[in-house]
């Protein structure tokens, strides 16, 4: 039998799922109903494999104003203000059309924020690509970066941070995660909960076209690249700017009952989710939907993912008032339906009814699946590899090894990327890309500021998804703490392979469990997020990438510190954890392997370290702060030296560590701080009370970096190795 004999497979529904739909309806679904079920029961919208796992995540805290279930999460910043934030993926569209895929990813996440009444103030992006020696990967990289900058710059929202990494597993399947943060008064948060029987449904923004058809569905199948061709959305950032200003103006008043953006699955998901939250029914006439293409069917209108569109719910007598605001912003509006009391989704095209299905069938009856948790034998083998058998490097080789790491794609300068983004527009950016471990933004008219970061070490997650996900949590919070901010909430984007088979199922299950346990240990909840599965190319999954975004608050933004030190500063190493080579950049670059186990995390020490660092920054004792992550101590020192245009002489004294572990080993709960010499008694005093180990290891001075007894490196040598790595690769 052909796929024509199984039309449900065309919308990525299994035979058993189709049988469940037949049982629910007591009949075969009509074509538009089938398309809507395919979208709403997709992994992208229905979270079939991840929903049971996500229940483990802690989502509550006294300062959480909105957790998962809305367009974005919100935390209380104090003084009547809230931060609203979320991260989402646009991986599969970006694999097909990287510029528009990345651009519309930015547009979608920005709409999630202003839909809740918050003005977007910052964008961050987390990216993964395959080997840039490959022409296709260079094409994807170039155009994804351009798409992010092109859309965000036109919107007038600064792109202030993020992260990038490269691995062969991402060949053909890049990871494009976009995060947006907005600010709103705590009593002004909008929600997408339809209510009021007889209230009208208003569609505003762009006209509806055929772009994006089945985007959500085909982001949830085994071969998204092949299946997704021709369905990538096309963005218009200038129209989105108008839409954003109009929506924010409307939400400052009381004319709108609910607002929902049209993202994945378009009109289908927006109206169903609004109706479900409000426990109501909804009646839509697609004949009233403005279209930019002729001959569109009800099926196409309901499943289109055309960008820059929003749905509003309002009382009938407020429509003229709403239309006037939209007209002021040169936006059209159309009455396309109304709220009913029967709990039914009814879709008409004039007098012809195409859909008549209870709302609950699309949401509550969506099937879920138990994910297998058996660890593949190959994972155990790689993790248990005895790394002590590897030859150590000599003192004379330390400098050359550092240059090799600084010149690698994963540790090379990101300036060719972030210089394409306007990170100072809106004039709120205090610390931007390359200046600090987290971006810092002022809140105009207030002393407070916010800090934002995104983190994930995919290599760690590949070796041990439980521990790797925990590293993502602690590094995201540590980076926020490093600038003096108190972490308040996190958002996550879970990028994994196929959850229906090994190793994707095991990786997803273990990563969510690790993330949940780490959140509880750190006392920081996850308030929003997204899941992107089936990230594979020809059956080969990506490295698991559970991306974490963190938002923190600074009571006084002027105390924030970056990674720069001053001439004559003392340099201190904080933390007592023993570094290791498992999963390290050193092991990958020098020995060409991803193996071993990442160093364990001591959560008690991690909490104490972050509290200690925040105390040092807030008190003004330190000049600069930098956490130790990829590349270990030597790379962190080099990064501070290059940012400061000032060298340093560093010595760790005598210990029993190998040279490779001492200088390039990696672990959690370590940081570098620089401070004027007269601050030494105060720093050591705070360290004693905090229970955190502090070791003075050197002095900032001159134009050379000297590590122990190894030959010194000049700043020029390090800069030459580090700068332009990506630029050289992407323009060859």
Report the C-alpha dihedral over residues 532, 533, 536, 541, rounded to 10 degrees. 110
- How do the residues of the chain divide into helix, strand and coil, expressed in percent and rounded to 5? 40, 25, 35
- Rounded CA-CA distance 493/472 in Å is 11
Both tokens of 104, joined, read 């519309």
- Rounded CA-CA distance 286/347 in Å is 7
Cis status of the peptide bond prior to 65, with omega within 30 of 0: no
- Rounded CA-CA distance 650/151 in Å is 44
Task: Say if residues 262 and 345 touch (Cβ distance below 8 Å).
Answer: no
Catalytic site includes residue 626 = no
> How many degrees, rounded to 5, is the angle at CA 483 between CA 494 and CA 610?
75
Task: Say if residues 218 and 298 touch (Cβ distance below 8 Å).
Answer: no
Give 60's DSSP letter. -
In whole angstroms, what separates CA 706 from the centre of its chain?
37
Cβ atoms within 10 Å, residue 538: 9
Paired sense of beta strands 439-442 and 540-541, if any: unpaired
Both tokens of 296, joined, read 């569109």
- Rounded CA-CA distance 356/30 in Å is 9
Three-class HEC string of 488-502: EEEEEEEECCCCCCC
Cβ atoms within 10 Å, residue 380: 9
Catalytic residue among 90, 214, 338, 361: 90
What are the CA-CA distances from residue 36 to residues 10, 30, 292, 356 (Å)? 12, 10, 22, 11
Catalytic residue among 44, 214, 338, 361: 44
Give 158's DSSP letter. -
Task: Say if residues 253 and 310 touch (Cβ distance below 8 Å).
Answer: no
- Rounded CA-CA distance 634/636 in Å is 6
Catalytic site includes residue 361 = no
CB neighbour class for 375 (10 Å; exposed up to 12, middle 13-18, buried from 19): middle
Helix (H) or strand (E) holding 269: helix 266-278
Give 27's DSSP letter. S
Cβ atoms within 10 Å, residue 61: 15
Cβ atoms within 10 Å, residue 369: 14
Q: Enumerate helices (H) and strands (E) in the chain, giving the number of each.
A: 27, 28
- Rounded CA-CA distance 596/35 in Å is 46
What is the dihedral sign for C-alpha 221, 222, 227, 228? positive
- Rounded CA-CA distance 513/4 in Å is 41
Buried-state track 23-39, b at ≥16 Cβ within 10 A, e below 16: ebbeeebbebbbbbbbb
Q: Name, in order, each residue with C-beta under 8 angstroms of 473's C-beta and a sequence gap of 6 or more.
A: 490, 515, 518, 519, 522, 524, 548
Give bridge partners of residue 311 from the DSSP assignment.
203, 260
In whole angstroms, what separates CA 556 from the centre of its chain?
26
- Tokens 């912003």 belong to 329
CB neighbour class for 346 (10 Å; exposed up to 12, middle 13-18, buried from 19): middle
Show which residues are catalytic.
44, 90
């Amino acid at each position: 039998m052909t796929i024509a004999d199984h039309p449900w497979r065309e919308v990525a529904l299994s035979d058993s799922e189709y049988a469940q739909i037949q049982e629910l309806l007591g009949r075969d679904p009509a074509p538009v109903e089938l398309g809507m079920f395919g979208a709403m029961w997709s992994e992208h919208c229905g979270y079939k494999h991840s929903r049971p796992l996500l229940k483990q995540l802690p989502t509550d805290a006294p300062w959480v104003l909105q957790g998962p279930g809305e367009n974005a999460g919100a935390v209380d910043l104090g003084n009547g203000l809230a931060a609203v934030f979320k991260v989402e993926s646009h991986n599969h569209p970006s694999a097909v059309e990287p510029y528009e895929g990345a651009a519309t990813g930015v547009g979608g996440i920005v709409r999630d924020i202003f839909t809740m009444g918050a003005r977007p103030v910052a964008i961050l992006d987390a990216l993964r690509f395959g080997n840039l020696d490959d022409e296709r990967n260079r094409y994807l990289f170039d155009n994804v970066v351009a798409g992010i900058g092109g859309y965000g710059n036109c919107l007038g929202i600064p792109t202030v941070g993020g992260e990038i990494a490269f691995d062969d597993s991402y060949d053909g399947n890049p990871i494009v995660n976009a995060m947006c943060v907005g600010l709103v008064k705590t009593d002004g948060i909008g929600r997408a909960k339809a209510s009021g029987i007889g209230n009208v449904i208003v569609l505003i923004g762009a006209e509806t076209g055929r772009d994006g058809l089945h985007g959500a569905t085909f982001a949830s199948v085994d071969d998204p690249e092949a299946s997704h061709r021709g369905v990538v959305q096309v963005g218009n950032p200038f129209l989105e700017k108008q839409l954003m200003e109009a929506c924010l103006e409307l939400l400052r008043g009381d004319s709108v009952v609910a607002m929902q953006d049209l993202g994945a699955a378009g009109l289908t998901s927006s109206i169903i989710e609004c109706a479900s939250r409000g426990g109501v029914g909804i009646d839509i006439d697609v004949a009233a939907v403005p279209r930019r293409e002729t001959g569109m069917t009800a099926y196409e209108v309901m499943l289109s993912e055309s960008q820059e569109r929003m749905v509003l719910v309002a009382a009938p007598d407020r429509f003229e008032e709403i239309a006037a605001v939209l007209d002021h912003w040169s936006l059209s509006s159309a009455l396309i339906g109304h709220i009913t009391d029967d709990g039914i989704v009814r879709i008409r095209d004039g007098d012809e009814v195409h859909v008549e299905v209870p709302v609950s069938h699309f949401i509550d009856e969506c099937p879920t699946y138990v994910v297998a948790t058996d660890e593949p034998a190959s994972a155990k083998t790689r993790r248990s590899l005895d790394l002590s058998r590897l030859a150590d490097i000599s003192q004379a080789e330390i400098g050359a090894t550092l240059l090799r790491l600084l010149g690698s794609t994963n540790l090379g300068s990101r300036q060719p990327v972030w210089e394409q983004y306007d990170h100072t527009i809106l004039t709120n950016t205090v610390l931007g890309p390359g200046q600090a471990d987290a971006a810092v933004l002022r809140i105009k008219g207030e002393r407070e500021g916010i800090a934002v970061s995104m983190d994930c070490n995919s290599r760690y997650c590949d070796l041990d998804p439980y521990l790797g996900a925990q590293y993502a949590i602690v590094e995201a919070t540590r980076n926020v703490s490093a600038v003096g901010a108190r972490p308040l909430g996190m958002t996550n984007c879970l990028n994994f392979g196929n959850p229906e088979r090994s190793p994707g199922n095991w990786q997803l299950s273990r990563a969510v469990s690790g993330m949940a346990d780490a959140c509880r240990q750190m006392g920081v909840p996850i308030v929003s997020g997204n899941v992107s599965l089936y990230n594979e190319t020809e059956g080969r999954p990506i490295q698991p990438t559970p991306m974490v975004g963190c938002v923190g608050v600074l009571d006084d933004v002027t105390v924030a510190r970056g990674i720069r030190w001053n001439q004559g500063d003392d340099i201190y190493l904080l933390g007592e954890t023993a570094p290791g080579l498992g999963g390290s950049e050193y092991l990958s670059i020098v020995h060409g392997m991803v193996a071993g186990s990442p160093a364990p995390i001591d959560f008690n020490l991690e909490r104490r370290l972050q509290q200690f660092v925040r105390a040092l920054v807030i008190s003004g004792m330190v000049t600069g702060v930098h956490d130790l992550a990829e590349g270990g101590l030597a790379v962190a020192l080099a990064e501070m030296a290059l940012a400061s245009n000032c060298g340093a002489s560093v010595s760790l004294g005598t210990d029993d560590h190998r040279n490779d572990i001492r200088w390039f080993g990696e672990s959690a709960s370590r940081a570098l701080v620089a401070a004027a010499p007269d601050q030494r008694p105060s720093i050591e005093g705070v360290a004693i009370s905090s229970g955190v180990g502090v070791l003075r290891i050197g002095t900032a001075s001159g134009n050379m970096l000297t590590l122990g007894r190894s030959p010194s490196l000049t700043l020029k040598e390090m800069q030459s190795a580090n700068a332009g790595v990506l630029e050289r690769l992407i323009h060859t």
